[in-house]
Structure 1
């Protein structure tokens, strides 16, 4: 099964995959998929999310998805409403990311865009130590 289709299936029917439908259960499942692909399945996802966030971050992709879905910085554990919002955005973002990375050189293009974006983040007012 193609991963984009698998992700649609787990979103629609989490119980069929042993998941409870929470953000944390999806995160664990997706991390397992990534691990099973030598950590290459989501290569570029973090950088892609950072560009959507519009600011640099030290978070991994799960934290970035939560930042995008819940900018008001919710308390943990997530409320059912916050969890549902995060799950919906996770799967929207995953689908968009998988579409963008699908063509030949898709991942390379994402990293190229990220590097270009990073260069626009440089602050010329900061000179650093002399």
Structure 2
């Protein structure tokens, strides 16, 4: 088993995806989005790229822009018919959105690894 420092970003986020409650307590899209935002801010503050370019990548993936940050872009992709409150998604939407978020994040990081 690798130590945390030895994990690539993709491996790290795969472990978060497997056991989100271990990282954030209550497993919800909004809480995981806050966690990822914190990860990004910490990375940037310490000279790493963090999630730089992810919002733009999501906009390109979606094929449409709006004024939402990256979390809103994920919601647009996962729930194209809309949502009322990202802090109170129905359980099925919550699971689906979390799944889509991690799929998209992995695809983004995979592309970035090759670039």
> After TM superposition, is the score higher than 0.5?
yes
Residue 4 of structure 2 is matched in structure 1 by none
Preserved CA contact (<8 Å) 1:19 1:26: no
| 1:53 and 2:62 aligned | yes
| Runs of 4+ with deviation above 6 angstroms | none
Instruction: Determine helix, strand or coil for the equivalent of 1:38.
Output: helix
Shift of 1:74: 1.5
Distance between the aligned counterparts of 1:56 and 1:23, measured in 2?
A: 21
Distance between the aligned counterparts of 1:42 and 1:57, measured in 2?
A: 19
Computing the radius of gyration from Cα coordinates, the structure with the larger value is: 1
Residue 10 of structure 2 is matched in structure 1 by 4
Shift of 1:99: 0.4
Instruction: Determine helix, strand or coil for the equivalent of 2:43.
Output: coil
Shift of 1:30: 0.7
Q: Structure 1 length as normaliser, TM-score? A: 0.74
Distance between the aligned counterparts of 1:95 and 1:55, measured in 2?
A: 21
Q: Structure 2 length as normaliser, TM-score? A: 0.83
Instruction: Determine helix, strand or coil for the equivalent of 1:65.
Output: helix
Post-superposition Cα deviations, 1:17-72, rounded to whole Å, max 9, x if no partner, equal 23322101211111111011116311111111001111122211000000000011
Please, what is the CA RMSD of the aligned residues?
1.3
Residue 90 of structure 1 is matched in structure 2 by 101
| 1:30 and 2:30 aligned | no
Structure with more contact order per residue of length (Cα contacts < 8 Å, sep ≥ 6): 2
Shift of 1:16: 2.0
Structure 1: give runs of 5+ residues left out of the alignment: 107-130
